[in-house]
Chain A
Amino acid sequence: MARRLLGKKIGMAQVFVDDRAVGATVIETRPCTVVQIKTKDKDGYDALQLGYGEVKETKVSRPLAGHFKKAGVAPHRHLFEIRVDNVDAYKIGDAIGVGIFAEGEEVDVSGLSRGLGFQGVVKRYNFSGGPASHGSKFHRRPGSIGCHVEPGRVIKGKKMPGHMGNRRVTVRGLRVLKVDAERNLLILKGSTPGARGSLLELGKRHG
């Protein structure tokens, strides 16, 4: 059974679950196509290579175009591999869709968080900052970053201003509120990383 899929974050909505209003993320998961089947004999391990998303043929590099042609499938924007229990159950060109998820189960969602640029320490690490007024000149500064002659340096990993966001973030255990196979939609309770329209990786939780 396939455990992972890719999807596109459509945005957030508010729905009612058990008489309560909850924030929910709507994710579009078009079916993935099996592009290549990796086997123990040939590749050293069993896996499926899946393609996701449409892409114009002219936008694909020649080596990749050849790869898709060999499989006899249309070119896809993204390629990724998943492990399955039994690769023989699948054949090239098979489509794997939202059907692998069921209502009520929990999934992990990974994606690139929204890029926030160069941020200070208050926004980036939730430092409390100083007073805004009453003669204070210590507003949003990081404060002391170290000791004295001993150790005479700033310790590694010190939280300082810098680039924030645009990194891979995983949110674990989001409950599936609804699976809409017709429209290829997955509705999860809670929020996911990334901006609207960004690519998300969805994985079933083990156990």
Chain B
Amino acid sequence: MDDILRAVEQEYLKERDAFRPGDIVRIHERISEGAKERIQVFEGIVLKRSGGSTREMVIVRKISSGIGVEKTYPIHSPKIEKIELVKERGARQSRPYYLRDLRKIR
């Protein structure tokens, strides 16, 4: 990718705490309902980070009332207030999809 393009996108990147696949993170997402704005928090285990620069995405999985839920977020979106690293857990795989098949997550 061109140096100039990289520099242009650089300005739009947010400072995020470092986290890896397998870690447990808490995503604070700004949600606007009409005129009201609130922050929704989604805490789960990172299944995958993909893409680069402004296009970087993360898939987070959690068990919500007995059902597995996965959400995909653009890491550098201005709508993401912050990404908190709750627990550094890591995984041997870069995409620990096997976690989906585990009975007990956490």
Does A183 have its Cβ within 8 Å of any Cβ on chain B? yes
Does B18 have its Cβ within 8 Å of any Cβ on chain A? no
Instruction: Tally the A-B contacts, defined by beta carbons under 8 Å.
Output: 44
Does A13 have its Cβ within 8 Å of any Cβ on chain B? yes
Interface size on A, residues (CB 8 A): 16
Interface set, chain A 12-43, CB cutoff 8 A to B: 12-16, 19, 21, 24, 26, 28
Q: Which residues of A contact B89 (CB under 8 A)?
A: none
Instruction: Find out whether the CB atom of B79 lies under 8 angstroms from the CB atom of A19.
Output: yes
Write the A146-189 contact mask toward B (1 if CB under 8 angstroms, else 0): 00000000000000000000000000000000000001010100
Smallest CB gap from B30: residue in A: A19
Distance in angstroms from A203 CB to nearest chain B CB is 22
Known: A13-B9, A15-B12, A16-B78. A28 touches B4 (CB 8 A): yes
Q: Which residues of A contact B74 (CB under 8 A)?
A: 21
Distance in angstroms from A172 CB to nearest chain B CB is 23
Known: A21-B54, A26-B4, A183-B4. A14 touches B77 (CB 8 A): no
Does A10 have its Cβ within 8 Å of any Cβ on chain B? yes
Q: Which residues of A contact B8 (CB under 8 A)?
A: 13, 15, 24, 26, 185, 187
Smallest CB gap from B13: residue in A: A16
Write the B67-103 contact mask toward A (1 if CB under 8 angstroms, else 0): 0000000101111000000000000000000000000
Interfacial residues, chain A to chain B (CB-CB below 8 A): 10-16, 19, 21, 24, 26, 28, 183, 185, 187, 196
Complex Cα spacing A183 to B8, Å: 10
A-B CB contact pairs (8 Å), 20 listed: A10-B2, A10-B4, A10-B5, A11-B5, A12-B5, A13-B5, A14-B9, A15-B12, A15-B54, A16-B76, A19-B30, A19-B78, A21-B54, A21-B55, A21-B74, A21-B77, A26-B4, A26-B8, A185-B4, A196-B2
Q: Which residues of A contact B12 (CB under 8 A)?
A: 15-16
Q: Which residues of B contact A13 (CB under 8 A)?
A: 5, 8-9, 54
Q: Which of B5, B30, B55 has a CB less than 8 Å from the CB of A26? A: B5
Given contacts A13-B8, A14-B9, A19-B79, 16 further A-B contacts (CB under 8 A): A10-B4, A10-B5, A11-B5, A13-B54, A14-B54, A14-B55, A15-B8, A15-B9, A15-B12, A16-B12, A16-B77, A19-B77, A19-B78, A26-B4, A185-B4, A196-B2
Complex Cα spacing A124 to B9, Å: 33
Distance in angstroms from B72 CB to nearest chain A CB is 13
Sorted nearest first, the 6 A-B pairs with minimum C-beta distance are A14-B54, A13-B5, A19-B78, A15-B12, A13-B9, A10-B4
Q: Which residues of A contact B5 (CB under 8 A)?
A: 10-13, 26
Q: Which residues of A contact B53 (CB under 8 A)?
A: 14
